[in-house]
Amino acid sequence: MKRIHAALVLGAGVLAAGAAWAHGGATGIVKERMDAMSDIGRNVKSIGQMIKGVAPYDPVKIANAGGAIAVHGGEALTELFPEGSLQSPSEASPAIWTDWTKFSDLAANLQTSALALKTLADQNADRKTVAGAFGKVAATCKSCHEAFRIKK
Ligand code: HEC
């Protein structure tokens, strides 16, 4: 029985490693925020493909994805980072808690910029304007990851 169980666990681990973002082994709050980030990532990817023309441009889908990103921003994001929560396999940097103001400002920017994108897409603004708003959302990911995420 034990051996079968071990094989199942191993199989599940391999599957998880094959997912878009491998965060196998994460539990608790670290898993929660990795899941939130992965959801953000999926929405960004979907908008990106529409902006680039790889997928059909659909302002309704862009607005929905923008809204989905905004939900994860601001306090919803910062509350997933209780002080010192660096359990493996977290890629979070300890700088988050020494520079909390910058970190929470970036979390707020993520929400504001995603809502701005949603509003423009809802209003069916021209593609160039929507693309510009998307660029601002993407810039917050980059700034925060550069400062507060350690790629392992
Ligand atoms: C306020 C800071 C902040 C912002 C803004 C932010 N991230 Fe993150 N992100 C992090 C941190 C910190 C981690 C590492 C978390 C961990 O491993 O514990 C992370 C991890 C990730 C991961 C990896 C998740 C995993 O399963 O390991 C993805 C994907 C991601 N972010 C996508 C995005 C995208 C896309 C955006 C912008 C739309 C974004 N993030 C905006 C801080 C941020």
Distance from the Cα of residue 1 to its chain's centroid: 39
Structure-block tokens of residue 57:
């441009």
Tens-place pLDDT, residues 98-134: 999 999 999 999 999 999 999 999 999 999 999 999 9
Question: Which of 23-27, 58-62, 96-100, 116-120 is the least confident region?
Answer: 23-27
Compute, in angstroms, the gap from residue 144 CA to the centroid of ligand 1: 8
Can you list the pairs that 126-132 forms with residues at least 24 positions away whose Cβ atoms lie under 8 Å?
Answer: 127/51, 127/57, 130/51, 130/59, 130/62, 131/51
Assess whether the C-beta atom of 144 lies below 6 angstroms from ligand 1: yes
Assess whether the C-beta atom of 69 lies below 6 angstroms from ligand 1: yes
What domains does the chain contain, in order, with CATH numbers?
Answer: 27-148 (1.20.120.10)
H or E element at residue 36? helix 28-52
DSSP one-letter code for 92: B
Compute, in angstroms, the gap from residue 67 CA to the centroid of ligand 1: 17
Give me the helix-helix angle, 59-71 and 127-148, nearest 10°: 30
Compute, in angstroms, the gap from residue 20 CA to the centroid of ligand 1: 13
Distance from the Cα of residue 102 to its chain's centroid: 18
Nearest to 36 by CA among 12, 60, 3, 72: 72
